[in-house]
Chain A
Amino acid sequence: MDADSNRRVFALDRTLKNTPIEGIVETVPTYRSLLVHYDPLTLGFSELSDRLLALLDQPGSAGNLSRHWRVPVFYDGLDLDDVAKAHDMSPDELIQRHSTPRYDVAMIGFTPGFSYLRGLDPAIATPRRAQPRIATPAGTISIGGAQAALQCLAGPSGWHLLGRTPVRTFHPQRDPVFLIEPGDTVTFERIDAAAFDRLERLAERGETVAELIS
């Protein structure tokens, strides 16, 4: 899951966005591969492969279009104390270490808006739970192995729950429907319960709540 492969994926993805190939329906950037959905009635596999391989050898598109988001988090996760104990630190130190890095959104997948984040402090990396939870709340902020995640919808998870964000990376009634792009960066900011409640009400009404830093 090295940063280099991930950047090459985004570079090719940007190249395809800037110079579209007819017949490509959509692309899905992931950690180290780019999935290209295409229409075989328009474009053959070997022709597409040749053109993609040729583009791989080109230098990446100039300019980094990624944005940097500040995402508020109320650290009330069910696993906060256990994870802190496992690393012999206080919950405050765990929160400090979790909210310091500038994470890369390495991939969005699984469910709408579920953002996989690269850049977790290795000192708090924690193997996934042996027993996944069937239900975790919307906006769950979690860590699993060497990864961190910003989850949008309620759903099952085998990761450790550190807190919740009022930010909805996916909101069908909002413009934009999807807030964060694969390749963006994210920093977490600790907030208290009162701020969470206030921001969550705004988020439900369609406000982005996350702050665009750059």
Chain B
Amino acid sequence: MSTLEVVTAGPLTSVQDAGRFGAQRYGLTPSGAMDRLSLAAANALVEHPLSAPAVEIGPLKTVFIARGGPLCVALTGALRFAHTGDDPCPLYRTFTLRDGDTLTLDAARKGVFSYLAVAGELKGEAMFGSFSVNARAGLGSPYPRPLQNGDMLTFETTPAAIPDRIMTPPVFGEGAIRVVAGPQYDEFGASTDVFFNSPWQISPTSDRMGYRLEGPALTHAGHFNIVSDGTVDGSIQVAGNGQPIVLMKDRGTTGGYPKIATIISADFGRFAQTRPRHTLRFAEIGVAAAQQEARAFHALLQSLPARIRNA
């Protein structure tokens, strides 16, 4: 048994897995990793199931200490400098923290979220089949909230050593974020052209609930208050001020604003990793094409273990 102590946790750092499903009808949102691909990559490296819980680490400097024995870990996701003392730690490659080692992740330079997977079994209790933190609902394990300084993550059945394994990082895709038409798409009229032809910036006030987009104001044929209906990950709703908000993993399960589009599941993680102030564009594709991309994304997830070789 070994422990990972949180010395410095920035905001947006929490335990996440693939999320909890089945209770959205009661208002409980799935939560789960913002970037499924990077979560799966970290898990594959330490030979965990692809959707196992790991530490989702926000973009600011974050520090951990290993306590009570070696921890074999893998770090994926955002591009950033990680080190134990003066020794750099690799991304997409396993490494070992000895008892007392300090692991420091400097602020992310590209991307937002990192994933730290630790070989062994995270001690905690799944709720609706998930460890994912949903602070508003008071759910998540071992802490029902984002990680704070001094928190202890305990791992059981930790191996003393694991092979030095390297993964060819999966290609993330580039270009416009692809969307399908949203449930109230038709009511936006000419504003749909504005939406697709304009560059958008992600607001710094974004979080796991929603990413605010800054750009031209969109107009809507009807009222900006619709009869509330259900939401999905990547729903792009437009509030009364004409500014879109993309609903992320901690979204409300229902919403009363019209939704112009939905980010396809295959591009959701790439969008989630887009930094505030970064400019991006949206491109529309059909539902059949989006489902083809979903199948390709699933195949990419499943191929991750095969992208690993022993060093």
Q: In the complex, A46→B231 CA distance in Å?
A: 20
Residues of A within 8 A of B139 (CB): 172
Is the pair A109, B295 in contact by a Cβ cutoff of 8 Å? Answer: no
Binds B, one of A33-41, A59-67, A79-87: A33-41
Q: In the complex, A108→B252 CA distance in Å?
A: 11
Q: In the complex, A157→B230 CA distance in Å?
A: 19
Interface residues of B in 167-211 (CB under 8 A from A): 183
Residues of A within 8 A of B229 (CB): 30-33, 35
Chain A, residues 109-123, CB within 8 Å of chain B (1/0): the string is: 111111010000000
Q: In the complex, A113→B137 CA distance in Å?
A: 10
Is the pair B25, A32 in contact by a Cβ cutoff of 8 Å? Answer: no
Q: In the complex, A170→B26 CA distance in Å?
A: 8
Summed over the interface, the residue pairs from A and B with CB atoms below 8 Å come to a total of 98
Judged by a CB distance under 8 angstroms, whether A55 is at the interface is no
Is the pair B227, A113 in contact by a Cβ cutoff of 8 Å? Answer: no
Judged by a CB distance under 8 angstroms, whether B23 is at the interface is yes
Of A28, A29, A41, the residue contacting B298 (CB under 8 A) is A41
* Closest-CB distance, B208 to chain A (whole angstroms): 14
Judged by a CB distance under 8 angstroms, whether B254 is at the interface is yes
Is the pair A40, B254 in contact by a Cβ cutoff of 8 Å? Answer: no
Residue of B nearest to A171 (CB): B138
Is the pair A112, B137 in contact by a Cβ cutoff of 8 Å? Answer: yes
Residues of B within 8 A of A111 (CB): 27, 136-137, 252
Is the pair B21, A110 in contact by a Cβ cutoff of 8 Å? Answer: no
* Closest-CB distance, A106 to chain B (whole angstroms): 9
Of B27, B136, B265, B290, the residue contacting A109 (CB under 8 A) is B27
Is the pair B228, A116 in contact by a Cβ cutoff of 8 Å? Answer: yes
Judged by a CB distance under 8 angstroms, whether A1 is at the interface is yes
Chain A, residues 46-75, CB within 8 Å of chain B (1/0): the string is: 100000000000000000000000000000
Judged by a CB distance under 8 angstroms, whether A132 is at the interface is no
Is the pair A30, B254 in contact by a Cβ cutoff of 8 Å? Answer: yes
Chain B interface residue bracket vs A: 20 to 34
Is the pair B228, A109 in contact by a Cβ cutoff of 8 Å? Answer: yes
Residues of B within 8 A of A177 (CB): 23
Judged by a CB distance under 8 angstroms, whether B291 is at the interface is yes
Interface residues of A in 148-182 (CB under 8 A from B): 153, 155, 169-170, 172, 177-178, 182
Chain B, residues 11-27, CB within 8 Å of chain A (1/0): the string is: 00000000001111111
Residue of A nearest to B227 (CB): A31
* Closest-CB distance, A135 to chain B (whole angstroms): 13
Chain B, residues 209-223, CB within 8 Å of chain A (1/0): the string is: 000000000000000
* Closest-CB distance, A66 to chain B (whole angstroms): 14
Is the pair A35, B230 in contact by a Cβ cutoff of 8 Å? Answer: yes
Residue of B nearest to A145 (CB): B225
Of B25, B230, B287, B298, the residue contacting A45 (CB under 8 A) is B287
Is the pair A110, B28 in contact by a Cβ cutoff of 8 Å? Answer: no
* Closest-CB distance, A182 to chain B (whole angstroms): 6
Is the pair B232, A41 in contact by a Cβ cutoff of 8 Å? Answer: no
- Nearest 6 pairs of A and B residues by beta carbon: A35-B230, A109-B254, A28-B230, A178-B26, A40-B291, A110-B252
Residues of B within 8 A of A (CB): 21-28, 127, 136-139, 183, 227-232, 252-255, 265, 287-288, 290-291, 294-295, 298
Known: A109-B27, A109-B252. 14 other contacts (CB 8 A): A26-B24, A26-B25, A28-B253, A31-B228, A32-B227, A33-B230, A35-B231, A110-B253, A110-B254, A111-B27, A111-B136, A112-B27, A169-B26, A178-B23
13 residue pairs of the A-B complex, CB under 8 angstroms, read A40-B294, A44-B288, A45-B288, A107-B228, A108-B26, A109-B252, A109-B254, A155-B136, A172-B127, A172-B138, A177-B23, A178-B26, A178-B28
